[in-house]
Chains A and B, each alone.
Chain A
Amino acid sequence: MPNKRPKICVMFCGGSKLIGRLNKTLEVRSEPDIARWLDEVPELRIIADLDPVFIFDGSGQAISPDIWIQLARQIKKHYAQYDGFVIMHAFDSMVYTGAALSFMLQNLGKPVILTGAQENTNDDTDEGANLGGFRRLGIRANLINAVQVATMDIAEVCIMFGNRLMRATRTHRNQNDPVNIFDSGSDTLGKVDFGIKLNEVRQRRRRTGLLVRAEISSDVVVTGIHPGMQPQALLSSIGANVAGAILPANLMRLPKSEWAELNRQAQARKLPLILPGFAEHIPASLQYLVPVPRMIEEVALVKVMWVLGQTRSINQARELMTANLADEFLPELEVRQ
């Protein structure tokens, strides 16, 4: 990091709800809200010069691939001007966005840190309610930690939440813990104790030309195989416009004698069937059955969307799906069912 005052770009994409000094709730729903919102957290300017960019109001429509593309393009546009990027984001879809940016931003030489409040815009969902007394905790601390990390020697897409800095492609939602709502097992990139300590395994800053590969396909489904299911029934449950399907359940539920028929029907539709964590040998001739190492479920979905946005060639898709592009493959010891 050069010895100058760091410049950080803060992108608003939801997840900005905070309790202001007068005990009023503030959030960035449109560009004019930003100045008042930033006035509520002046202490961030001790750490770095901040410039805001408004992306999305975080309400109503769920986060979508269009937003991911917009984020990636904005990062590309401002890449040279800033030392790092902080993205304010709703917590419920943060893992998807983190994964999408991990695949879209290639040759990344600077940090991109996602963070946000533990409470979403108009959050009257069960999920929001389950956060109970912890709902108001954390956004200021998350922000300070995220901005500080964005000035440090790291060059990855990460999620900063609570006292953990996590690689976006290794982060999963902790459904049963209302406080530590994200976890990445032993794969944390950093930890907050009295300050922020980064782990050695992180990618470090480097001078690179950022390459954005933002094309993405939304025509992907996640479906299941169940005992007794015939290939015909499985494929007929998948819509005609679908470009790829993920079968998280074990293919072994289908008799081996049916694999060739499943492949034949998938090939006829040019429909790759992705099998995360499938360890059995599949003959190379069954090229539409694509076994890939195990990934976080959300990450696997986003990766398939991204791969099918890059190519429709089965050979290229197989190559990309089986390549470890953003440290997304989980070590065998961390297998989760």
Chain B
Amino acid sequence: MKIYFFASASLAERTRQRQNKIRDLLTRSGITVATNLTPLSEVDATWQDRAEELGQSLLDQMDALVIEGTQSDPEVGYLLAYAISGKKPTLYLMEKGSQAKNPLSYLAPKNIPANILVRTYTDHTIDRAVSELLEQIEHSEYAETPSIKFTLRITPLIEQYLHWKTHNTELSKADFLRQLIIDEVIKKDEEYKKYRHRHTE
């Protein structure tokens, strides 16, 4: 999973420490993190090539966004607009007591979709907020956009079954297989759940 973590520019040492903590937390959860805390040149070149090929923003290559918006920054509103438009699971964090205006306040509540989580945080509650996002991604209809490709050779019997199963349905064979892996393999794998739990604590 790939997440873009945006940290608003802050002069406060405490905020910067917290921002680094959020990034570390995401990384420890097994997530590939791209962030404005490091130069763009450190971003995986294949993502950039893909974005260029498709005429897209690098945000389109991400599965989710985490925005630390304790300081007012026009970039925060832009990222939130992009997240709403692209239906990206997004966690919008502000330190408790932050004076920054929440850009979502310009929207009517009915226009703030469920994929946007807004949380104020302290040192003690960051972990929980990040876990919430990861849970949302796991259970959400906005789950990861399929973007990783590999060749799977199948037998004629499997091909026949997939054809029979998806014929006259709106599902493609690939959609069917993806859903099957999520519903019947990942969701039922207790060991994997424990692994995820350990890494999001």
A contact set with B: CB distance below 8 Å: 41-47, 137-138, 140-141, 144-145, 148, 151, 161-164, 179-180, 192-196
Contact indicator B60/A141 (Cβ below 8 Å): yes
Contact indicator B85/A163 (Cβ below 8 Å): no
Evaluate whether A141 and B85 lie within 8 angstroms (CB atoms) in the complex, with A162-B56, A179-B53, A195-B75 already known.
yes
Q: Which residues of B contact A144 (CB under 8 A)?
A: 78, 81-82, 85
Minimal Cβ-Cβ distance residue in B for A179: B55
Contact indicator B56/A47 (Cβ below 8 Å): no
Roughly how many angstroms separate A46 CA and B108 CA in the complex, as a whole number? 11
Identify which of B6, B34, B57, B79 gathers the most chain A CB atoms within 10 Å of its CB. B57
Which one of A41, A151, A162, A180 contacts B85 once the chains associate, using CB atoms below 8 Å?
A41
Which one of A43, A138, A148, A179 contacts B84 once the chains associate, using CB atoms below 8 Å?
A43
Minimal Cβ-Cβ distance residue in A for B104: A46
Roughly how many angstroms separate A174 CA and B57 CA in the complex, as a whole number? 19
Which one of A44, A137, A161, A163 contacts B81 once the chains associate, using CB atoms below 8 Å?
A44
Minimal Cβ-Cβ distance residue in B for A193: B58
A-B contact pairs, 25 of them (CB 8 A): A43-B107, A44-B81, A46-B106, A46-B107, A47-B78, A47-B81, A140-B85, A141-B56, A141-B60, A141-B82, A144-B85, A148-B81, A161-B55, A162-B55, A163-B55, A179-B55, A180-B55, A193-B40, A193-B43, A193-B57, A193-B58, A194-B58, A195-B36, A195-B79, A196-B78
Minimal Cβ-Cβ distance residue in A for B47: A193
A175 to chain B, nearest CB (A): 15
User: Using a CB-CB cutoff of 8 Å, which residues 75-100 of chain B contact chain A?
Assistant: 75, 77-82, 84-86
Contact indicator B103/A46 (Cβ below 8 Å): yes
Contact indicator A42/B78 (Cβ below 8 Å): no
B171 to chain A, nearest CB (A): 17
Roughly how many angstroms separate A179 CA and B79 CA in the complex, as a whole number? 23
Identify which of B55, B58, B74, B75 gathers the most chain A CB atoms within 10 Å of its CB. B55
Q: Which residues of A contact B79 (CB under 8 A)?
A: 195
Does B59 touch A at the CB level, under 8 Å?
yes
Contact indicator A138/B57 (Cβ below 8 Å): no
Q: Which residues of A contact B52 (CB under 8 A)?
A: 163, 180
Contact indicator B86/A141 (Cβ below 8 Å): yes
Does B31 touch A at the CB level, under 8 Å?
no
Q: Which residues of A contact B77 (CB under 8 A)?
A: 46-47
Roughly how many angstroms separate A161 CA and B79 CA in the complex, as a whole number? 18
Does B9 touch A at the CB level, under 8 Å?
no
Roughly how many angstroms separate A46 CA and B69 CA in the complex, as a whole number? 14
Q: Which residues of B contact A44 (CB under 8 A)?
A: 81
B104 to chain A, nearest CB (A): 7
Interface contacts beyond A43-B81, A137-B55: sample of 18 additional A-B pairs, CB < 8 Å, sorted by A: A43-B80, A43-B85, A44-B81, A45-B106, A46-B77, A46-B107, A47-B81, A47-B103, A144-B81, A144-B82, A148-B78, A162-B55, A164-B55, A179-B53, A179-B55, A180-B52, A193-B57, A195-B78
Q: Which residues of A contact B75 (CB under 8 A)?
A: 195
Minimal Cβ-Cβ distance residue in A for B35: A194
Does B162 touch A at the CB level, under 8 Å?
no
Minimal Cβ-Cβ distance residue in A for B78: A148
Roughly how many angstroms separate A45 CA and B104 CA in the complex, as a whole number? 9
Q: Which residues of A contact B107 (CB under 8 A)?
A: 42-43, 45-46
Identify which of B6, B43, B74, B108 gathers the most chain A CB atoms within 10 Å of its CB. B74
Which one of A42, A137, A196 contacts B111 once the chains associate, using CB atoms below 8 Å?
A42
Minimal Cβ-Cβ distance residue in B for A182: B55
Roughly how many angstroms separate A46 CA and B112 CA in the complex, as a whole number? 11
Contact indicator B81/A194 (Cβ below 8 Å): no
Does B152 touch A at the CB level, under 8 Å?
no
A306 to chain B, nearest CB (A): 30
Does B54 touch A at the CB level, under 8 Å?
yes
Roughly how many angstroms separate A47 CA and B80 CA in the complex, as a whole number? 9
User: Using a CB-CB cutoff of 8 Å, which residues 44-78 of chain B contact chain A?
Assistant: 48, 51-60, 74-75, 77-78
The 8 tightest CB contacts between A and B, nearest first, are A162-B55, A43-B84, A42-B111, A43-B81, A140-B85, A192-B57, A180-B55, A179-B55
Roughly how many angstroms separate A45 CA and B53 CA in the complex, as a whole number? 29
Q: Which residues of A contact B84 (CB under 8 A)?
A: 42-43, 46
B123 to chain A, nearest CB (A): 26
Roughly how many angstroms separate A193 CA and B52 CA in the complex, as a whole number? 9
